A and B are shown apart, each in its own frame.
Chain A
């Protein structure tokens, strides 16, 4: 009991440190986003004068506002990239986990190699290619590079999950009269749901957070995403820095991620396959 309590205390302290380390900057940013422009640099943690102007300012002017278009761009691009990536990756991962086919090693190796590839080294060529192909500053122009990096990530995650699903289940479904596609859709996919959602979250966050491609392959609000748009914020005048606005926008950008994770983490329940096999 003695040891249990001590361990518990140590764990708690450890966790507290980690949580503080992670949350203090966020909290600091939150406080900053409520400060008026002239108190931004006063050094106090709690704002001396509270204001919501930093937030309202972001949306002033509707579609002409600094944040609304980029926010919509970000959401659409990240969602489309996630959907396509998960759809393609679940088929690929399923084939890799279940079947023996020539080139399986090459696919996995290739996926890993691409995931390791530094994105910055592809930006230059992409910039040229996209301008020639007319993809520069379009949604597709960002979704495609996101897919190349998101797919390996999703495939690796999903292969691990698919491997955990007993093959007997699929065979049982086939004997029960299911076509391979029905077996996949009605038995395998629901069981792999935790894996699918894990992969979806990872891909979404990757696409949402990307800055390198977003800043290089866009030139206007037509497709510029939030991380890139933040870099283009200007103050009210040449001499005021938009610190408050940037802080407010940064907070807003975090919110969809939190919502996305909260929705899907409920689905990521361990032990979903328990009870399938053995007695």
Chain B
């Protein structure tokens, strides 16, 4: 086992485009690190550089104490789970899982023992002599995991390993992956574009965009304290609402009205972008004792989506839509209409299922000013000055 260090690692293609730009990242020994970002952000390239499947153009990559820039994949002592599993179709499950050990000239009895132990953990024992073609998607996925764990490598690399599974199986395997990583305690780097996976699995999450790291933090910190518009909009579902805002004298003017800023943002001034997560709104009638501490406003409800445990209420607000280059890039990055606060002046609130707001009618909503995020429209940086926990 070992940690993995990126030290100014850059991947430059012959045509000059940079897939990964001067990446500095330190994955601790035994840590579960998630690389997340929209497609094309360089996360898979970064992972493949650890595996040795992509050359490193610049910088140094260390696994444990050793620089591995020039080592072949086979000499790096890492195991990788591929997005499409990449099982050897002409080998049985047993041979698939034992292939690496066989290449390492481990003796037959030892291989059998390890493969069977891994099969036991992954509930594959009765499938050991079948070929991958005769397995279900979930079973193939487990074989791919098994192929990695029998080796007891320095690190696991996983490239969107769950993205080919159906929704239910994905949730199940997510728990499985998490349990496995915890029991093995092996350093793991896991690539995904799914922010739910990122938030639930990782010890820490590295958000990437356009080849550059945006923020590396625990899921909780990432959610509560995004450093910029991109991270704010990318993490969380439904995504954070963005409004154009103007701050002055400890107050901020939002499309819904003027709101007192919390202590740590009271110094803000000028034209800004305000971000409010859907759950920081509530049906004013259901807030209870905190009602006085928040800000109430009236808004026409355009659409309601009831999820059972919660209700998403899409409401219209006056005021122009928040506009920023950063924001439009973000929208493009995560697939257009995914941002609720698009150009149509709409926002989404997550309400308690007991709420009685109606579609097409006006409703009184409440928002928690302490949870407002403010961003510089030029740079996209968060204005929050709250002290960061040491990473």
- A32-40, A50-58, A126-134, A173-181 - interface stretch: A173-181
CB distance from A273 to the nearest CB of B (A): 5
A3 to chain B, nearest CB (A): 33
Return the chain B residue nearest A174 by Cβ: B73
B233: min CB distance to chain A, Å = 30
> A275 and B103: CB pair below 8 A?
no
Are B53 and A174 within 8 A (Cβ)?
yes
**B147 & A176 in contact (Cβ 8 Å cutoff):** yes
What string of 1s and 0s marks CB contacts (under 8 Å) between B78-89 and chain A? 111011111111
A169 to B140 CA separation, bound complex (whole angstroms): 14
Binds A, one of B126-134, B212-220, B259-267: B126-134
Residues on A with beta carbons closer than 8 Å to the beta carbon of B52: 174-175
As a 0/1 sequence over residues 152 to 188 of chain A, the CB contacts with chain B under 8 angstroms (1 = contact) are 0000000000000010110111111111001000110
Q: A1: CB under 8 A from chain B?
A: no
Q: Report how far A132 CA is from B87 CA in the complex, Å.
A: 54
Contact of B103 with A182 in the complex, beta carbons under 8 Å: yes
Any B CB within 8 A of the CB of A190: yes
In the bound assembly, the distance between CA atoms of A179 and B103 in angstroms comes to 9
Contacts of A179 in B (CB 8 A): 72, 74
Size of chain B's interface in residues, with CB distance under 8 A? Answer: 37
Chain B residues lying within 8 Å of A116, measured Cβ to Cβ, are: none
A166/B88 in contact, CB under 8 A: no
Closest CB of chain A to B172's CB: distance in Å?
14
Asked if residues B84 and A177 are in contact (CB atoms below 8 Å), the reply is: no
CB < 8 Å neighbour of A177 from B53, B82, B104: B104
Q: Which B131-152 residues sit within 8 Å CB-CB of chain A?
A: 131-138, 140-141, 147, 151
Take A174-B74, A175-B79, A177-B103 as given contacts and tell me if A275 and B84 are in contact as well, using a CB distance cutoff of 8 Å: no
B-chain residues with CB within 8 Å of residue A240 when the two chains form the complex: none
- Confirm or deny: A41 has a beta carbon within 8 angstroms of a beta carbon on chain B: no
A279/B78 in contact, CB under 8 A? no
Cβ of B164 within 8 Å of any chain A Cβ, yes or no, is yes
A277 within 8 A of B: yes
- Rounded to whole angstroms, the CA-CA distance of A182 and B281 in the bound complex is 59
Q: Are B84 and A175 in contact (CB under 8 A)?
A: no
Residue A276 lies at the interface, judged by CB distance under 8 Å to chain B = yes
CB of A263 within 8 A of chain B? no
Q: Chain B's nearest CB lies how many Å from the CB of A267?
A: 12
Bound form: Cα–Cα A272–B88 in Å: 11
Whether B74 lies near A175 (C-beta < 8 A) is: yes
B164 and A274 within 8 A (CB): no
Q: Is A276 a contact of B86 with CB atoms below 8 Å?
A: yes
In the complex the two chains form, is B82's CB within 8 Å of A172's CB? yes
Q: Which range holds the interface residue count of chain A?
A: 20 to 34
A191 CB-CB contact with B under 8 Å: yes
Give A186-233 interface residues, CB cut-off 8 Å to B. Answer: 186-187, 190-191
- The CA of A272 and the CA of B131, in the complex, are separated in Å by 11
- Whether A275 and B99, one on each chain, are in contact in the complex, defined by CB atoms closer than 8 angstroms, is no
Least CB separation from A165: chain B residue: B89
Query: Is B89 within 8 A of A191, CB to CB?
Result: yes
A278 at the interface (CB under 8 A from B): yes
Task: Tell whether, in the assembled complex, residue A279 and residue B100 are in contact, meaning their CB atoms are under 8 Å apart.
Answer: no
Q: How far is the CB of B85 from chain A (nearest CB, A)?
A: 6
| Min CB gap A185→B, angstroms | 11
Q: In the bound complex, how far is the Cα of B103 from the Cα of A186, in angstroms?
A: 10
B135's closest neighbor in chain A, by CB? A275
Residue B51 at the A interface, CB < 8 A?
Answer: yes
Taking CB atoms, residues of chain A closer than 8 Å to B100 are: 176-177
In the complex, the answer to whether A275 meets B53 with C-beta atoms within 8 Å is: no
Question: CB distance A171 to B89 under 8 Å?
Answer: no
A168: chain B residues at CB < 8 Å are 82-84, 86
Q: Are B86 and A171 in contact (CB under 8 A)?
A: yes
C-alpha spacing A272/B82, complex, angstroms:
20
CA distance A272 to B80 in the complex (A): 24
- Assess whether B290 is interfacial by the CB under 8 Å rule: no
Shortest CB-to-CB span from A63 to chain B, Å, is 44
A residues 87-107 touching B (CB-CB < 8 Å): none
- Report if A275-B74 is in contact (Cβ < 8 Å); known contacts: A172-B80, A175-B79, A176-B147: no
Once the chains are docked, how many angstroms separate the CA of A203 from the CA of B90? Answer: 26
| Bound complex: CA A173 to CA B147 (Å) | 11
At the interface, yes or no: B224 with Cβ under 8 Å from chain A? no
> Closest Cβ of chain B: how far from A181's Cβ, in Å?
11
A279 near B137 (CB under 8 angstroms)? yes
Question: In the complex, given contacts A176-B74, A275-B140, what are 18 additional A-B residue pairs having Cβ atoms less than 8 angstroms apart?
Answer: A168-B82, A171-B82, A172-B80, A172-B82, A173-B99, A174-B72, A175-B53, A175-B79, A175-B157, A176-B100, A274-B133, A275-B131, A275-B134, A275-B135, A277-B82, A277-B87, A278-B84, A279-B136
Q: List 11 A-B contacts (CB under 8 A).
A: A172-B86, A174-B74, A175-B53, A176-B74, A177-B74, A177-B100, A177-B103, A182-B103, A275-B131, A276-B89, A279-B140
5 tightest A-B CB contacts, nearest first: A279-B137, A275-B133, A277-B84, A275-B132, A176-B100
